[in-house]
Amino acid sequence: MCPPNDIPQLSDASAVIQNTPPGASTSLSSAEELQRELDKVPRSVLAHVVDVHCHPTDSEAKMTHHVVAEGLPIRICAMATRRSDQELVAGLARAHPDKVVPCFGYHPWFYHWISLTPAPSKESHYRALFLPSSPPPKPELVAAFERLLPYLPEPIPLSDLLQDVRSRLVQFPGAMLGEVGIDRVCRIPYSRPADPPYANCADHEDGSSRELSPFTIPLEHQLAILEAQLALAVELKRNVSLHSVKCQQATCELLDRMKTKHGAAWLRISVDLHSCGLSPQTWQQISVGRRPCEQCPSRAALEPPNRTLIVARIDLFEPSQKRHPNVFLSLSTAINARSPAHRALIAACAPDRILVESDFHDVRLSAPYTWHMLCTVAAVKGWRVEEVWDEDEAAVREEKWGAVRRLEENWKLFVRGEHEERVKRKDKRNRFIEEWEAEAEGE
């Protein structure tokens, strides 16, 4: 989701992708060129592509429904972000159940509208968030708060929010929790909450951006609201689309905390770090585990007479995706392609943990943007991109799959959930020795 005062209009779409990453399918410089590239792709191939994160209800409803019904060649995951768009997402999913996966939840940009307990008054709620009494606030911050307060809505109790999200997730058994998350950089604008379609309300009529206040939402407040929504996802076994901006360490700690708190139930759901802005190093920190290295002997090499190799070589392991086996990442042209760093992140990610998205508000660009990122992933990973769809290809070895089939299989893995805690190195060593001893006794 683009920043609240920086949502690109359709006429500005070419500016979003001028920084097309090298190695993508072609050197593209405009939305029109993206569409022309997409037009070359058979519908039978596009039918297997999933945009795992977008915001179609931010745009005009009549246009959105028409495009989804008549021209959308891919499937999309439509995100809700605040109270006023939860029903819009529900309506889109009811009308187009084969094309739209609904996602319900509250976005961190709007967490200041939510009170953890019933607030005695609107002013006391916002003052506690933005003007804590210790240390005493500076006069310029007090003035900024007094200017901002009239624009802010009456706070919503967290209990009401959770009841709303619960009812919608129950109503749609295939729905996800999203978009939820944490964000350290979003500043509160001097403007009243917009009514849908939000994409038309980002800037003033003269084209100037909305003025931003100096206030951000305290991370502790964000985490309290996020973790309450995540607990609901665990309870109802729903997958999650997670927003994380400038919160790399906090995100690592959050995932560790959720795994410790919820245990096996946490691994039953999948979590997608959408438009992932983590460094490759942080992604490794989240995902790293251990697996046998290439120099280790194969299972066949450990059969007699080579059993003596077991104890000597069993400790040779290298990194793999095991610390959080339920965590995926997805990337978008609209956000990630602004920096070349996303290519290193693609390279660092295990091939079965990556997804693609548009993260865009205009559904007319959902397919072109998602396809463009798919081609970028394929270029970095060295995967071929299918020119025709072969149903029999699923039976061949995985390393021969094309990019579309690989990413579709990743999506199926994400949807299925039920991830397993990987065997620790010591446990695996003990298991190998036990198997070896059992075989020796049987001879």
Q: Residue 325 pLDDT > 60, yes or no?
A: yes
Report the alpha-carbon distance of residue 199 to residue 67 in Å, rounded: 17
Mean pLDDT of 31-45: 94
Residue 18 C-beta-side C-alpha neighbours within 13 Å: 4
User: CB-based burial of residue 112 (10 Å sphere; 0-12 exposed, 13-18 middle, 19+ buried)?
Assistant: buried
In tens, the pLDDT along 136-192 reads: 999 999 999 999 999 999 999 999 999 999 999 999 999 999 999 999 999 999 999
Give residue 24's pLDDT.
Answer: 37
* Domain ranges across the chain: 47-116+158-289+322-441
Tokens at residue 58, please? 């931010």
User: Sheet harboring 240-245: ordered strands across?
Assistant: 50-54, 75-79, 100-104, 176-183, 240-245, 271-273, 327-332, 354-357
Report the sign of the C-alpha dihedral through residues 371, 43, 33, 359, in that order: negative
Question: Cα–chain-centroid distance for residue 65?
Answer: 24
Give the model confidence (pLDDT) of 221-243 as tens digits: 999 999 999 999 999 999 999 99
Q: Alpha helices, DSSP H only, in 179-263?
A: 219-236, 248-262
Homologous superfamily of domain range 47-116+158-289+322-441: Metal-dependent hydrolases (3.20.20.140)
**Per-position b or e across 423-442, b if 16+ CB within 10 A of its CB:** eebeebbeebeeebeeeeee
- Please name which of 53, 19, 34, 31 lies closest in space to residue 411, comparing C-alpha atoms: 53
Tell me the C-alpha distance between 122 and 155, whole Å.
Answer: 6
Lowest mean pLDDT among 28-32, 223-227, 242-246: 28-32
pLDDT at 7 over 80: no
Helix (H, G, I), strand (E, B), or coil: what is residue 181? strand
pLDDT at position 279, please?
95
Asked if residues 300 and 243 have their Cβ atoms less than 8 Å apart, the reply is: no
